[in-house]
Amino acid sequence: MSSAEPPSESAAAEARAALDAHAVETVAWHFHESTGCPFWLEKKSELKFDPLTEVTCYDDLKKFPEFEDEWLRGGPVRRWVPKGLADKPVYVFETGGTTGVPKSRIAIDDFRTDYSLFSDTLPDQYFPPGANWLMLGPSGPRRLRLAVEHLAQHRQGICFCIDLDPRWVIKCLKKGWIEQANAYKQHCIDQAITILTAGHDVKCLFGTPKLIEALCLELEERGTSLAECGITGIFSGGTEFTPQWTKFCVEELFGGPPEESGVYMTPTYGNTLMGLACSEPVTAENAYKITYHAPQPRAVLECVDFDDTDRVVGYGETGRSKLTTLTKEFFVPGFLERDEGEREPPCAAYPWDGISGVRPFSKLQGGTTVGVY
C-alpha cells in the first residue's frame, strides 16, 4: 500500500483517540499547579472554564481564546518553562526579529524529539545511516541548526554547518541592496562547495529552497553537480517550496527522478512552534503536489475559514493554517499562522488531515518579505 493512499477507518479512529487523550494529558500538565508554567497558570484565572476538568478531548481546546502573537514577544521568557521541567537546561528559539522584538519559545528536548521522529520517515537508501550531513541554512537564535545537527547525529552521522543570518538578508532586500544580498548568498554557497569538495563524505543535505537552487546552479557553473559531489538525500523547507520549483529541481538541477539521478528530495514544513510536518511522496505522477501532515499528536495543523477560524474548511478548499502545539514543554492552542493552503484528507502514512499548497497568507502578503533564504 502506498503511503499516499487513504487510511483504514480503524487507523483514523486510533489516531483521533490518541489525539484526544494527548490533548487532555497536555492541558492537565500545563494547568496543574505542580507542573504548569507561570504563563498558563496566571492565564487560568482569566479563563471562563476550568481546563483541568473541562478539556475532555481535542475539540475542547476551542474553549481557549485565540492565541495572541504578542504573548510570545518579550520576557521574561522563563514564564514559559513548566515547573515540572524547571531543573532542565533550557534553550530559547526565535522567529522574526527583523524589526521589533522577535517571537520566542523555550525548548528543552522538543526539537530533538521532532527530528528523531522525522528521521523515521527518511528512506535509508537515499539518507544512509552513518552518512555525514551538510546544513545550509539559518542558525543563530533559530532551532534549525541544532535540530538538523541532531538529525544527523541521530542517524549516526556528523553535521557540517554553514551559517546564514536571514535577518540581514531581509534587511538587504527591504533596502533594495540586491547586490549585497546576492553577494552574501554567494558567500554561503562558496563555503558549502568547499565542504562538499573537501573529502568529508557528505551524502545528505539540508538546505532552504533558494540556497539549494543557488548551490546547484553554482555547481553546474563549475562543471559538476550535487550527485557528483556525493549527495543522495536532500531535505528542504520553506513556504516558497512549490510544485513548480520541485519540478525544476528534479527535472533539471538533479537530472531526473531519484531512480535516475540518485538524488532524492523531501520537502518539510516546519517552524519554531510546531516542529516538523512531513510530506507525502512528491512525484511527477502527482504533478509534484506537496502535502504536509503535522506530527500528530504533538502538533495539529488545521485549515480554517479565514473569518470563522474555529471552522475547518472542506477538503480541497482554501483556508488559513492554524497550529496547535501539544507537548510537555510548550502548549499553544490555536495559533493562526501567516500561511494559507488547501485542506487535504488523511492518508495511510498520516491518518489525519494535511495541508497542501502552503503559501504566505494572501491578506498579509503586502507586509511580509517572502523567499528570504
Partner 1 sequence: MIELKSIRWGKPYESLDVEEVKHFYTGEPVARVHAVGGGIIQRDAKKAKYARKALQAIPPAELVDRLKKAGELFENGTLPIGDGVQTPDDFIAQQSATTGMPVSMCRANVAKNAFVLKNIDQILDCLTRGLSLDLLARGYGEEGRGVTVSYQATCDALGAVLPSNSPGVHTLWLPVIALQMGLVLKPGSSEPWTPYRVFAAMTEAGIPPEVFCLYNGAGSDIGGAILGSCRRAMIFGGPQTVDQYAGNERVQVHGPGYSKVLLGEDCVDDWEQHVDLMVDSVYRNGGRSCLNASSIYAPRHSKEIAEAVAAKLGPIEVLPPDNDEAGLAAFTIPGAAPAIWGSIENDAKADGVTHVTQAYGDRLVERDPVAYLRPVVMHHASHQSETRNKEQMFPMVNVVECPQDQMLRAIGPTLICSAITNDEAFRSDLINSIDIDRLNLGPIPTPQVDWLQPHEGNLIEFLYRSRALQLA
Query: Is residue 76 involved in binding partner 1 (CB under 8 A)?
Result: no
Nearer to partner 1, 141 or 257 (CB): 257
All three cell numbers of 348, joined, read 495511510
Contact positions with partner 1 (CB under 8 A) in 279-298: 287-288
- Residues 353-372: x/- map of binding to partner 1 (CB under 8 A)? ------------------x-
Minimum CB separation from partner 1 for residue 171, in Å?
16
Asked if 332 and 325 count as a contact pair (C-beta separation under 8 A), the reply is yes
Contact positions with partner 1 (CB under 8 A) in 180-219: 182, 213, 217
Task: Count interface residues toward partner 1 (CB under 8 A).
Answer: 18
Minimum CB separation from partner 1 for residue 244, in Å?
4
Strands (E), 221-353: 233-237, 264-271, 275-279, 291-293, 299-304, 318-326, 331-344
All three cell numbers of 54, joined, read 473541562
Nearer to partner 1, 183 or 198 (CB): 183
Nearer to partner 1, 146 or 249 (CB): 249
Minimum CB separation from partner 1 for residue 245, in Å?
6
Q: How many whole angstroms separate alpha carbon 221 and alpha carbon 198?
A: 18
Minimum CB separation from partner 1 for residue 283, in Å?
13
Minimum CB separation from partner 1 for residue 354, in Å?
19
Place of cell 489525519: 352
Among 253, 274, 276, 347, binds partner 1 (CB under 8 A): 253
- Residues 232-251: x/- map of binding to partner 1 (CB under 8 A)? ----------xxxx-xx---
Nearer to partner 1, 140 or 243 (CB): 243
φ/ψ region of 7 (left if φ > 0, alpha if ψ in -120 to 50, else beta) reads beta
Q: How many whole angstroms separate alpha carbon 92 and alpha carbon 76?
A: 11
Strands (E), the chain: 91-95, 103-107, 132-136, 159-162, 202-207, 233-237, 264-271, 275-279, 291-293, 299-304, 318-326, 331-344, 354-360
Contact positions with partner 1 (CB under 8 A) in 128-187: 176, 178, 182
Nearest to 261 by CA among 212, 228, 213: 228
Which residues make beta-bridge pairs with 268? 237
Q: How many whole angstroms separate alpha carbon 5 and alpha carbon 40?
A: 40
What is the SS3 assignment for 213? Answer: helix
Minimum CB separation from partner 1 for residue 182, in Å?
7
What is the SS3 assignment for 313? Answer: coil
Nearer to partner 1, 57 or 284 (CB): 284
For binding to partner 1 (CB under 8 A), which residues are involved?
Answer: 176, 178, 182, 213, 217, 220-221, 242-245, 247-248, 252-253, 287-288, 371
